[in-house]
Amino acid sequence: MKVQNTLATEVSTTCPYCGVGCGVVAMPQVDGGLEVRGDESHPSNFGRLCSKGSALGQTVGLEGRLLHPQINGERCDWDRALNEVASRFRQTIAEHGPDSVAFYVSGQLLTEDYYVANKLMKGYIGSANIDTNSRLCMSSPVAAHKRAFGADAVPCAYEDLERAKLIVLAGSNAAWCHPVLFQRITQARQENPDLMVVVIDPRRTATCDIADLHLAVRPGSDAIVFSGLLHYLAQQGEANPLFVDHCTEGSQQALAMAAEVAPTVESVAVRCGLTAEALSQFYRLFARTERVVTVYSQGVNQSISGTDKVNAIINCHLLTGRIGRPGMGPFSFTGQPNAMGGREVGGLANQLAAHMEIENADHRDTVQRFWQAPTMADHAGLKAVDLFQAIESGRVKALWVMATNPAVTLPDADRVRAALKKCDFVAVSDCVEETDTTALAHVLLPAAAWGEKDGAVTNSERRISRQRKFLPAAGEARPDWWIVCEVAKRMGFAQAFDYDGPAAIFREHAALSGFENFGERDFDISGLSELSETDYADLTPAQWPIRQAEASTPRLFGDGRYFTPSGKARFVPVEPRLPANLPDADFPFVLNTGRVRDQWHTMARTGKAPRLSEHSPEPYAEMHPQDAQGMGLVEGALAHIFSRWGEAVVRLRLNEGQQRGSVFVPMHWSEQFSSSGRIDAVVNPERDAISGQPEFKHTPVRVVAYEPAWHGFILSRRKLDLVGVTYWVVAKGEGFYRYEIAGEQAPENWPAWARGMLCASEDDVNWIEYLDQGARRYRGVRMVNDRVESCLFIAPSHDLPPRSWLAGLFGQTTLDDNERKGLLLGKPPAGQKDVGRIVCACFSVGINTITDAIREQNLQSAEAIGQALKAGTNCGSCVPELKALVAGAK
């Protein structure tokens, strides 16, 4: 692996987005830009990147960065800001005790940042009120792994995906959420046509593109599917008695429960909304295939019974002994780049550091002696949803949010926002200045961003990789570990937080993992505890446990030994439960939230990359066409979504892949990007009683047509202050901002209204415009020096010209006569083509270009499209869509 840890030509680092943990080679350019490519030598991705990773170079500019510390909106120096945070926390603790303060942290933090934050809260403040946004995506697998294996240990490695004969993807849209793993599976299928793929998901997602079988289960019924599978395997004599007898315990109780709740394939099929034939096909496939990997992700985890669902999956692997060997095992795909690292340092409120247990007095003693901590927390802290409810009730009075945006991402998000508003003291450290959460902070602390700091992350297969610095810090930004340590010092803990850099923190973290371990704890990286600065700088990716330097372990449990007191894996009897809230006459649909292909979290970084906004520029709801019938809900119109907790307005997409009775809405849009797309305001706050993970996949909602007086869009080279607009969404384009807008009242004078918004002054105005006042149609284009400066289109319905051709004009310095004639039509003159909505984000290939090529060149496959247009040949994320276009053309 090439490592040059200087601000020089090429630096090997890792992608800051999802839990795949791809290696990235960053190449800072002399002009200040950044080029990236996949790191061919990184064992997670072998050179591949998805659309988000490929666009990292577009996200590192200073636009939107938080550059200086602030107190109550006023710039101040670091000393004042740090003193303010330390004194407010000290004062609150003195008056109300350690449990009156809290940290809410993030899977975006590096391990070293996470380690010191956890050490400060649990060992020095003496509370366990530190929880992380990883609670929202993978705390159910953590709890399930502990129940089954006695430790939060992921048994598999990515190479098991290539060595499997059957891959079951349960609640995982890997094609969009873990794209590089999806690419690895796709390639494995090409090389091994015997590899079968089963997708279990209520929606027909892009992942189904490679599925031999798609089980479109009823939302929330996954545990029944796997309980039925367990019973079926036992009945069919597919158990592995040697493994079950020697390596597990509790099989009888689990099997008895499965027999009771899932007595026949037919009964399971009825409860899950499947045909008995399809379900039998899956069961037979699982039964006869030794090498089977079952992947689970948010679709399983984000449920009030997420922990049970994961255990229902693990039970099937334990019964068949399919764990700890190549090509098999239960496999949690984590959401965030360092969700696993956060688990390792104890970043969840119910954990201690180094995978030790907070309820275990021996573990508390071990950690306290290692840290020489004055005040160890002796009970679990508040999990994410409970934490914000405690803020609402006034029990928690001072909060520090690090690298996350809970005002958008927590369920019942309006209530969270209200809680933050009334909290006595809120500090936020972030690299972005304007988020829904920073808007509610008393103190803002500018954090170094990706590329500006050094540290480690751990991906879904337990692989620790380095993130490396290759850019100078923006403004006065500092690494999170430094900010935490400076606050700790000011709280009176100078000696314990006197690190000279992230390597020293990492060494301590590694040493703690081996401290009095004796092989009893799964997480042990003591082999890395004596790394020199150079060793740390050059650290190559390796999977834990790493008990001696150079020794890494691709998969766990090959020896049949687990971390339970008996050393045996535990079956867990699972009684499937219904979701917390069921649809009724008032709220007849089930809302399911998730991710889109090209965005990450609340778009604070991916929203800066024009090419990532092209595929889904607006928040949307997907519904089955038959559900929409007769409700005024038509493709492209606006839909108002209500639940008992909140509301949102989003664009409607009709999709036959959406299960009837359910609605999918992505979770990315915040108030920075839309007026009313914060879908987590609609999501119910119920959570799994064991893991605390919220039920993001199941909220009863009502969907009605939202019918404003007018609809429109604006493309503008500069950001605008919108006036008289009730619905808006902004997306960054190449050289312009795109606004989708709508209003409930028509302006009296459309031209005056348009000019008021689009013109800095009247002097430089060269308008081309069209007005039909009676029909509420207005079109205006503002030209400056022969180039388009902005354009605005208004109509009484959402039926407006496509934006793609007009958007392309913002890349031109002059327009010819024909193009000027086409301006108000919003479509190209004869001889020019509109590329249409962008499908391939990497090469900006539009849908019209693709469909024309399919028709004119008789292209029969995604590969053929790739050869003709390059679409789909870089990250491959759009390949499922290309295949759908080919199929649609037949």
Which residues contact ligand SF4 (rule: CB under 6 A)? 15, 17-18, 20-22, 45, 49-50, 52-53, 178-180
- Cα separation, 573 vs 253, in Å, equals 6
Residue 154 CB, nearest distance to ligand SF4 (Å)?
16
Q: b or e along 282-294 (b: 16 or more beta carbons within 10 Å of the residue's beta carbon)?
A: bbebbbebebbbb
Query: Residue 180 CB, nearest distance to ligand SF4 (Å)?
Result: 4
Closer residue to ligand SF4, CB minimum distance, 52 or 507: 52
Beta-ladder partners of 728: 741
CB 107 within 8 A of CB 82: no
- Least distance from C-beta 433 to ligand SF4, angstroms? 24
Between strands 710-716 and 736-743, the pairing is antiparallel
d(C-alpha 590, C-alpha 272), whole Å: 15
CA 526 to chain centre: 30
Q: Judged by CB, which is closer to ligand SF4: 230, or 878?
A: 878
Instruction: Name residue, tokens 């958008």.
Output: 408
- In the complex with ligand SF4, the residue whose CB is nearer, 35 or 260, is 35
Cβ atoms 457, 480 nearer than 8 A: no
Residue closer to ligand SF4, measured from CB, 659 or 874: 874
| In the complex, least distance from residue 189 CB atom to ligand SF4, rounded to whole angstroms | 18
Task: Residue 242: count other Cβ atoms within 10 Å of its Cβ.
Answer: 10
Quick one: which H or E segment has residue 295? strand 292-296
Structure-block tokens of residue 861: 């496959």
Q: Shortest gap between Cβ of 601 and ligand SF4 (angstroms)?
A: 11
Q: Which is nearer to ligand SF4, 18 or 66 (CB)?
A: 18
Minimum CB distance to ligand SF4 smaller for 15 or for 667: 15
HSE, side-chain direction, 13 A CA sphere, residue 359: 2
Peptide bond into 576 cis (omega under 30): no
Q: How is residue 399 written in tokens?
A: 């909060």
Q: Tell me how far, at minimum, the Cβ of 21 lies from ligand SF4, in Å.
A: 6
The angle subtended at Cα 445 by Cα 440 and Cα 448, nearest 5°, is: 125
Q: Is 509 helix (H, G, I), strand (E, B) or coil?
A: helix
**Least distance in Å: CB of 438 to ligand SF4?**
24
Nearest distance in Å: CB 157, ligand SF4: 16
Q: Which is nearer to ligand SF4, 17 or 696 (CB)?
A: 17
Nearer to ligand SF4, 158 or 587 (CB): 158
13 or 251: CB nearest ligand SF4: 13
d(CA 532, CA 504): 9
| Residue sitting closest to ligand SF4 (CB) | 53
* Nearest distance, CB of residue 183 and ligand SF4, angstroms: 8
Smaller CB separation from ligand SF4, 57 or 692: 57
State how far the Cα of 230 lies from the Cα of 270, in Å rounded to an integer: 17
Q: Going by C-beta distance under 8 Å and a sequence separation of 6 or more, which residues neighbour residue 428? A: 400, 401, 402, 435, 437, 438, 441, 443, 444, 445
Between 50 and 681, CB nearer to ligand SF4? 50
CB 812 within 8 A of CB 785: no
In the complex, the smallest distance separating the C-beta of residue 345 from ligand SF4, rounded to whole angstroms, is 20
Asked if residue 541 has a cis previous peptide bond (ω within 30° of 0), the answer is no
DSSP 8-state symbol, 656: T
Dihedral angle sign, alpha carbons of residues 696, 702, 707, 708: negative
Helix (H, G, I), strand (E, B) or coil at 714: strand
CA angle 690, 695, 698 (to 5 degrees): 140
**Cα–Cα dist 51/36, whole Å:** 12
SS3 content of the chain, % helix, strand, coil (to 5): 35, 20, 45
Tokens 């005002």 correspond to 407
Residue with tokens 């796709």: 186
Q: Which is nearer to ligand SF4, 49 or 464 (CB)?
A: 49
Smallest separation, CB 139 to ligand SF4 (Å) = 20
Give CA–CA dist 184/163, Å, rounded: 11
By beta-carbon proximity to ligand SF4, the closer residue of 100 and 404 is: 404
CB of 54 to ligand SF4, least distance (A): 7
User: Rounded to a whole number, what is the distance in angstroms from the first to the last CA of the chain?
Assistant: 46
* Residues 289 and 326 sit within 8 Å (Cβ to Cβ): no
In the bound complex, what is the minimum distance in angstroms from residue 24's beta carbon to ligand SF4?
Answer: 7
Least distance between ligand SF4 and beta carbon 18 (Å): 3
**Residue with token string 């969907």:** 703
Nearer to ligand SF4, 46 or 78 (CB): 46
Identify which of residues 42 and 119 has a Cβ nearer to ligand SF4 in the complex: 42
Smallest gap from Cβ 162 to ligand SF4, in A, equals: 16
Give min distance, CB of 43 to ligand SF4, in A.
13
Nearer to ligand SF4, 44 or 368 (CB): 44
DSSP three-state, residue 249: strand
Closer residue to ligand SF4 (CB): 309 or 463: 463
Q: Tokens at residue 330, please?
A: 């239960």
| Segment (H or E) for 455 | strand 455-458
Are the beta carbons of 192 and 245 closer than 8 angstroms? no
Nearest approach, Cβ of residue 457 and ligand SF4 (Å): 10
Are 838 and 615 in contact by the 8 Å Cβ rule? The answer is yes
- Give the shortest CB-719-to-ligand SF4 separation in angstroms: 27
Radius of gyration, alpha carbons of the chain: 27
Complex with ligand SF4: residue 248 or 543, whichever CB lies closer: 543
Listed in sequence order, the residues at least 6 apart from 130 whose beta carbon sits closer than 8 Å to its beta carbon are 102, 103, 104, 105, 117, 118, 121, 122, 347, 349, 381
Spatial strand order of the sheet with 542-543 comes to 455-458, 463-467, 542-543
